[in-house]
Amino acid sequence: MRRPFITLLAASALSVTGNILTMLAVPWFVLDTTGSAGLTGLAAFATTFPIVVSAAFGGTIVDWMGFRGASVVSDLASGLIVLAIPVLFVTTGLSYQALLLLLFVRWLAATPGETARKAMVPDLSALGRIRLERATAACDGVSRGATMVAAPLAGVLILWLGPTVLLLFDAITFLLSAALIGLGVPRVGHERGPREPGDSGGYVSDLRDGMTFLWRDRLQMSATTMIVVTNMLDTGVTQVLLALYAREATGDPRAFGLLTGALGAGAVAGAIVYGAAGERLPRRLTYGCCFLIAGVPRILVLALGAPFPVALAVTALSGFAAGAINPILGVLQFDRIPVRLRARVLSSITAAAYAGMPVGGLLAGSLTELTGLTFTLSAFACVYLLASVPPFVFRAWRELDPQQPAST
C-alpha cells in the first residue's frame, strides 16, 4: 500500500514549493511597496528567526496532536495567513508592521508541519513496504527537486504576474498540501494521536525529555554538531562567497546561478542514486566520504582560483555526494528516536541546524572584508575538513552500520 507514502511526497513537494515562493515573493513585495533595502532585510529576518523558535518549541505539540493532525493544521494555518497578505493589500491596505507580524506567524505555523511530515516517513514507508533508505532518499530528492524547480518558476511568475499574485499561489500550495494529507494519509498504527489527560508530565517536561534524549545520544549529537557547523559554512558560501567568486572569475552574474544550480542538480541525482543503491552500501563509510566530498572540494577549488568550467564540474560532483547525506541522517534518526519522542527530537535537531545559519553570511562577509576572498575560502575549507572527521575517528559512529548494536 504505497499510495499514502506517495501522497506524503506530493504534499511535501507542494509545501516546499510554497516555502520557496514565499522566500522569493516577499523581498520583491517589500521592495515594490517600500523601496527600502533595510526593510527588506528586516522582512527576511522575520521569515528565518521564527523557524528556529518554532522548531525548538513546536515538536512537543506535534507529538501531542499526532503527526497527521499537526501537518493538516499547520498547512491550513500557513495557507490562510499567506492568503491574508495579498487580500489585505488589495482591500483594506497592509501596513509594513502588519506584514512583519503575518510573516512571523506564518513561519511559526509552517515549521511544525514540516516536522510532522518527516515524522510520518518511517511508518508510511513500512506500510508501503519500502526500504527506509529508499524512503528517506525519495523525501530528500523530492524536497531538493521542488526547490530546484520552484526557484526559477518563482522568478518567472514574479516577472509575469507580480509578487502579490505569487503569494496567492503560495497560499494555494499549502491548502492543497493540507487536503492531500487529510484525505490521503491514514493515521498510522504507531502514531499517538491527540494528547490525553495525564498522558505526559506537561509541556516543559515533555520538551525536556526530547532534548535530553538528543543530548545523551552521542552519535546523534555528533551528527547534529556536524550539520550545525557546515550549515553555517554553507550559508556563507552560497549567500556571499559564490557571488564574489563569480564576479571575480567571470564578471557574469549568470555564473553564480550556474554554480548554485549545479549543486542542486547534483544533489537531486545523488539522492536518486542513493535511493536505488543505498541499502547495499556501508552507512558510516558512505556518510563520511559523501560529507567530505560534499563540502571541501567545491570550496577548495574556488580558493585555488580554478577556471570556471572546472569549478562548475567540481560543484556538481560535490552536490552529487551531498545527495546521500540527508537520507542517511534520516535513517539514523528514525532507527534511534522512539516514536513518542520523534517530533520533539527532530524539532530540536532542526532548530540547531538553523541556529548557526544567520552567522554564516555575516562571518563570510566580514572575514572577506578583512582578509580577502582567497583566505576566507581557504579558512572555510579547513573548517569544513575538520567538521568532516568524526565519522572516521569517533567510536560512536560505528553504531551507524546496521550490524552494530545501537546504544545511547
- Confidence at residue 56, expressed as pLDDT on a 0 to 100 scale: 79
- Confidence at residue 177, expressed as pLDDT on a 0 to 100 scale: 93
Q: Which helix (H) or strand (E) holds 214?
A: helix 203-216
Place of cell 514540516: 114
Q: How far apart are CA 73 and CA 382, in angstroms?
A: 43
Closest to 157 (Cα-Cα) out of 21, 37, 339: 21
Q: How far apart are CA 171 and CA 309, in angstroms?
A: 39
- Confidence at residue 254, expressed as pLDDT on a 0 to 100 scale: 67
- Confidence at residue 132, expressed as pLDDT on a 0 to 100 scale: 86
Q: pLDDT tens digits for 89-147?
A: 888 888 888 888 998 898 888 888 888 999 899 999 988 889 888 898 889 888 888 87
- Confidence at residue 37, expressed as pLDDT on a 0 to 100 scale: 60
Q: Which three cell numbers stand for residue 284?
A: 558510516
Q: Which three cell numbers stand for residue 9?
A: 511526497
- Confidence at residue 38, expressed as pLDDT on a 0 to 100 scale: 66
* Sign of CA pseudo-dihedral 257, 260, 264, 267: positive
Q: pLDDT tens digits for 185-230?
A: 887 654 544 444 445 556 677 777 778 888 888 999 999 999 999 9
Residue 24 has pLDDT above 80, yes or no: no
Residue 301 has pLDDT above 90, yes or no: yes
pTM exceeds cut of 0.95: no
Higher pLDDT, 131 or 1: 131
- Confidence at residue 188, expressed as pLDDT on a 0 to 100 scale: 67
* Cβ pair 278, 286 in contact under 8 A: yes
DSSP 332: H
At 322, the pLDDT band (50, 70, 90 cuts) reads very high
Residue 247 has pLDDT above 80, yes or no: no
Q: Which three cell numbers stand for residue 289?
A: 566520504
Cβ atoms within 10 Å of 33's Cβ, excluding its own: 15
**Cα-Cα end-to-end distance for the chain:** 33
Lowest-confidence pick of 71-75, 95-99, 175-179: 95-99
* Cβ pair 180, 79 in contact under 8 A: no
User: What average pLDDT does the segment 265-276 reach?
Assistant: 89
Lowest-confidence pick of 14-23, 34-43, 160-169: 34-43
Burial-class residue 228 by CB neighbours within 10 Å (0-12, 13-18, 19+). Answer: middle
- Confidence at residue 200, expressed as pLDDT on a 0 to 100 scale: 54
- Confidence at residue 6, expressed as pLDDT on a 0 to 100 scale: 93
Q: Which three cell numbers stand for residue 346?
A: 527532530
* Cβ pair 113, 16 in contact under 8 A: no
**Integer CA distances (angstroms), 112 to 58, 166, 193, 333, 343, in order:** 6, 23, 15, 17, 9
Higher pLDDT, 359 or 151: 359
Residue 350 has pLDDT above 90, yes or no: no
Residue 405 has pLDDT above 60, yes or no: no
Q: How far apart are CA 133 and CA 136, in angstroms?
A: 5
- Confidence at residue 373, expressed as pLDDT on a 0 to 100 scale: 87
Q: Name the amino acid, one letter, at 140.
A: D
Residue 406 has pLDDT above 50, yes or no: no
User: What average pLDDT does the segment 314-318 reach?
Assistant: 93
Determine the length of the chain: 408
Q: Which three cell numbers stand for residue 400?
A: 551507524
* % of the chain beyond a pLDDT of 70: 92
Higher pLDDT, 54 or 36: 54
Residue 253 has pLDDT above 70, yes or no: no
- Confidence at residue 72, expressed as pLDDT on a 0 to 100 scale: 93
At 10, the pLDDT band (50, 70, 90 cuts) reads very high
Q: Name the amino acid, one letter, at 244.
A: L
